[in-house]
Each structure stands twice: as C-alpha cells, then as structure tokens.
C-alpha cells in the first residue's frame, strides 16, 4: 500500500463527463489499496474568465481581492469531484488551501508555499477517505487567501507530495509527457522518457508549458519524482527526476520556445555606474522578474539597456520603467511585444563544446536575426522576431538530431 498524490489539470476537469473519468481513475488507484490525495485545477477556461472579469473592473486590480477572485475556480472543481466520488459510493472530502492549511507568504498572485499542516489529511486518510485539495491556492499567516501564480496547481501537488512523503506524485495533463519540442510545431517530436530537474526547470521556464516552474524547483529541493502523464490514456509519461549518466550522453534534450515575453529598451542612458540597479530595482520591488538583459557599451558614453519581462507583467513594468528612465535621463523607452525566445536545453552541454555556435549557424542559414542571447551551463537562449518561432524550432530540432530518434 502506497500514498499516491495525483493532480488533474483544467482540461482533465473540463466537463462533468471528464470529471467522472477522473473519478474513475482515482478509484482505480484507490481500489488497488492505496491512500489517495488528489489535487485539482479549475475547469479549463475558468481561471481565464475570472482574470478577464478583474480586468474589466480596473486596469490594476487590487492584489488581495484578485486572489480571492481567481482562487474560486478551484473551489468549484474540488466540490464537483468529491460529489462525484461520493455518488459512486466512495468516502471523499474536499479541502480549500486554507482548510488544510497550506501556508504561504503574502505575495498575492505569486505566493510561495512555506508550510503544510498534514494533521487533518493524515486523520482522514486513516479513515479511508479520498482527499481532494484545491490546487493553486493557499493562505498567508494573516488568513488572507493567496494564489501561487498561473499553473500553480502543479506546485500544490508537488508540495503536498513532499509534505506527506508520498510514494508517487503523478501529474495528469492533456499531453503524454514532456516532448523534445512542441509536437504542434514538429510532428516528429518525441516523448522524453526521463528528464532531470535542471533540464525541466529550463524547459518549464522557457515555455514548455507542461509543468509550472515552481513545482519543479520544489520537486528538486525535496527530491520528489514527478510522473507527468496523460489523463486520456494509460501510456507511461515522462519521469522528472535526479540527473543520471544516461542524460549526460545526450547533447541537447529539447528545444523550447516562449512567446510570452516582451522587450523593453531604455535608449541612450548616460553610461555610468548604478544605471542597471536604478532601472531594475524598482521592478524587483514590484515583484516583477526580469529575464534576459542586454546592455551595450557605446563610444560616446551612452548606453542602451534592454530587458524582457513576461507579457503579464508588461504594462506594469513599462509604467515603472518610464519613471526610472526619466530619473536616469534616458532619451526614450522603446518596446516590442512581438518577440519569441527560443532555447536549446541539455545537461550534455556541460561536457561538449560548440553547441551555441551550431545553434547560431543554424539560425543564420535561415536568415533569422538574433536580437538577444543568454546562456547558462545547460541552455542557450536567443530572442528573435516572433514570426520566426516555428521555423527556428524546426531547424534546431533537426540540427540537433532530435527528430525521430529512438525514445
Ligand atoms: N487554475 C489555475 C490556472 O489556470 C491554476 C492551474 O490550473 O494550475 O492558472
Ligand atoms: Mg498546468
């Protein structure tokens, strides 16, 4: 007998019929003699609708009330799934994040889980009850409802698995697992059997939308193996786990892309110490993370300072940057929302030279201009015009031999 944590995403919970199917899957594992904790997302599209409502009220919705609003989607799905299980003759009980409680910090809309109390859950499990927990939400130490950022139910699931020392953490989604790239772009993309936490972190943060990045950070920290698989079939999925020797043998494991960033360029700033801090500090104070940064050096002691933020943070970041630009006496602030970040990822890069060069040559051959570059030990990312996204992904997938290779 094992303790199994399963998470079902919005698509898997999208209709009553699908919720019935989720219930059947849960029952199958439960009937095999396992304790079950199930984390669910809001029904697909619901969170987007709630966000749109908030934006209809005001351009900058109040942070606390925003979380009260968007957390409500998961309240609906926990109740429906618990009801469904009970109607099928099983003991089930739904929990909001605050009822567990899942304690977070107080950064609304991007809260981090700090602590999970497992007492109630343990007691219920002892009674043979199937526990259904609302993903995406928690509560801060003052009792305010918080949410964990879009896609946050993955993190709720991994955190529950870590807190309960679960034997398995299965994340059920609408894809079979993690692919070498988006199969919608490359029909010959293939499923990766096993991927390391670090590779997955790069791929998740780079826009391979399968898992929320924080869930992988959490899994790495607490050594939780995540099995990503489809709720629509019984195929084995992808294991996200500790790095091993096999993984290093592969040069590039995947090609990721991200159309979800926008570029802000502060033009002609007098080039002196402190500029980067003056531009970036107000953004971090507003909890906006900056991704890629490029600052050039100019001959006439002016510099252009360019960076990217997520599209969700763009409006706020621009307003803040315009203020800082005035302070540092920049000439202008320019923006570009039509960009795409393309990345190659693989732990094999640590021990192989020339990977970046091959990437740049491959893009050059197609006449794709590179606007920004950043690298880490296990990835190389470039920003290009968004219209080249598909082409860039395809040629890189080919160039690094990912197409059609054996799984
Ligand atoms: N419902 C939330 C969202 O759409 C959380 C999740 O699905 O993981 O972002
Ligand atoms: Mg998701």
Residue 79 to residue 70: CA distance in whole angstroms? 16
Residue 271 to residue 303: CA distance in whole angstroms? 5
- Which numbered atom of ligand 1 lies nearest the CA of 136? 5
pLDDT tens readout for residues 31-88: 999 999 999 999 999 999 999 999 999 999 999 999 999 999 999 999 999 999 999 9
Residue 399 to residue 158: CA distance in whole angstroms? 35
Residue of minimum CA distance from atom 4 in ligand 1: 47
Report yes or no: 182 and 189 within 8 Å, Cβ to Cβ.
yes
Domains by residue range for the chain, with CATH: 3-174 (3.40.1160.10), 263-334 (3.30.2130.10)
- Region 150-179: mean pLDDT is 95
Give the confidence band of 170 by pLDDT, cuts at 50, 70, 90.
Answer: very high
Which residues make beta-bridge pairs with 238? Answer: 228
pLDDT at 207: 67
Is the link from the previous residue into 248 a cis peptide, with omega within 30 of 0?
Answer: no
pLDDT tens readout for residues 187-230: 999 999 999 999 999 988 776 678 999 999 999 999 999 999 99
pLDDT at 251: 85
Buried b or exposed e, range 355-378, using 16+ CB within 10 angstroms: beebbeebbeeeebeebbebeeeb
Residue 335 to residue 318: CA distance in whole angstroms? 8
The two three-digit tokens of residue 219, written as one number: 């899994």
Pocket test for ligand 1, best of 136, 158, 204, 215 (most atoms within 8 A of CB): 136
Residue 26 to residue 368: CA distance in whole angstroms? 48
Non-local (6+) Cβ contacts of 83 within 8 A are none
The more confident residue out of 231 and 66 is 66
* CB-ligand 1 contact for 152 (6 Å cutoff): yes
pLDDT at 407: 44
* CB-ligand 1 contact for 14 (6 Å cutoff): no
For residue 365, give the H/E element and its range. helix 355-365
Residue 273, φ and ψ in degrees, nearest 5? -60, 145
Non-local (6+) Cβ contacts of 260 within 8 A are 207, 310, 311, 312
Residue of minimum CA distance from atom 6 in ligand 1: 151
Give the confidence band of 406 by pLDDT, cuts at 50, 70, 90.
Answer: very low
Spacing, Cα 155 to ligand 1 middle (Å): 10
Kindly tell me if the per-residue pLDDT of 364 is higher than 80: yes
pLDDT at 210: 87
pLDDT tens readout for residues 78-115: 999 999 999 999 999 999 999 999 999 999 999 999 99
Kindly tell me if the per-residue pLDDT of 125 is higher than 80: yes
- Which numbered atom of ligand 1 lies nearest the CA of 10? 7
- Which numbered atom of ligand 1 lies nearest the CA of 9? 7
- Region 252-265: mean pLDDT is 95
List the one residue out of 205, 269, 268, 195 whose CA is nearest residue 237: 195
Residue 177 to residue 194: CA distance in whole angstroms? 10
Q: What is the mean pLDDT of the chain?
A: 94
* CB-ligand 1 contact for 42 (6 Å cutoff): yes
Spacing, Cα 211 to ligand 2 middle (Å): 6
End-to-end CA distance of the chain: 31
- Region 330-348: mean pLDDT is 96
Kindly tell me if the per-residue pLDDT of 299 is higher than 90: no
Which residues make beta-bridge pairs with 194? Answer: 239
Report yes or no: 303 and 295 within 8 Å, Cβ to Cβ.
yes
Residue 329 to residue 269: CA distance in whole angstroms? 6
**Residue given tokens 């929990």 in the structure block:** 95
Which residues make beta-bridge pairs with 340? Answer: 384
Kindly tell me if the per-residue pLDDT of 405 is higher than 60: no
Residue percentage of the chain with pLDDT more than 70: 99
Give the confidence band of 390 by pLDDT, cuts at 50, 70, 90.
Answer: very high
């Amino acid at each position: 007998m094992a303790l199994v944590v399963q998470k079902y995403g919005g698509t898997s919970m999208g209709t009553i019929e699908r919720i019935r199917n989720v219930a059947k899957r849960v029952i199958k594992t439960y009937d095999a003699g396992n304790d079950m904790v199930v984390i669910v997302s809001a029904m697909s599209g619901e969170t987007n609708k709630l966000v749109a409502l908030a934006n209809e009220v005001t351009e900058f919705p109040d942070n606390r009330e925003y979380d009260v609003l968007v957390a409500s989607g998961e309240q609906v799905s926990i109740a429906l799934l618990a009801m469904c299980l009970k109607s099928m003759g099983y003991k089930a009980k739904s929990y909001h994040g605050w009822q567990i409680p899942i304690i977070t910090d107080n950064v609304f809309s991007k809260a981090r889980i700090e602590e999970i109390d497992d007492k109630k859950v343990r007691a219920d499990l002892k009674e043979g009850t199937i526990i259904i927990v609302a993903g995406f939400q928690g509560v801060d130490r003052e009792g305010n409802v918080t949410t964990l950022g879009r896609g946050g139910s993955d993190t709720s699931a991994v955190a529950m698995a870590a807190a309960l020392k679960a034997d398995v953490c299965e994340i059920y989604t609408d894809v079979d697992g993690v692919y070498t790239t988006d199969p919608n772009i490359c029909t010959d993309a293939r499923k990766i059997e096993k991927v390391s936490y670090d590779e997955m972190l790069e791929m998740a943060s780079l826009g391979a939308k399968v898992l929320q990045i924080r869930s992988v950070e959490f899994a790495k920290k607490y050594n939780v193996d995540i099995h990503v698989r489809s709720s629509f079939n019984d195929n084995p999925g992808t294991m996200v786990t500790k790095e091993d020797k096999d993984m290093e043998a592969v040069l590039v494991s995947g090609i990721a892309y991200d159309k979800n960033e926008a570029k802000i360029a502060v033009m002609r700033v007098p080039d002196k110490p402190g500029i980067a801090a003056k531009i970036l500090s107000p953004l971090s104070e507003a909890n906006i993370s900056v991704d890629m940064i490029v600052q050039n050096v100019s001959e006439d002691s002016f510099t252009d300072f360019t960076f990217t933020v997520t599209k969700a943070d763009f409006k706020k970041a621009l307003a803040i940057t315009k203020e800082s630009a005035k302070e540092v006496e920049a000439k202008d602030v320019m923006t570009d929302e039509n960009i795409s970040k393309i990345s190659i990822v693989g732990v094999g890069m640590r021990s192989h030279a020339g990977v970046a060069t091959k990437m740049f040559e491959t893009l050059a051959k197609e006449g794709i201009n590179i606007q920004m570059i950043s690298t880490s030990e296990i990835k190389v990312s470039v920003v290009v015009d968004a219209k080249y996204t598909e082409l860039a992904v395809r040629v890189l997938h080919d160039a690094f031999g990912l197409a059609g290779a054996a799984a």
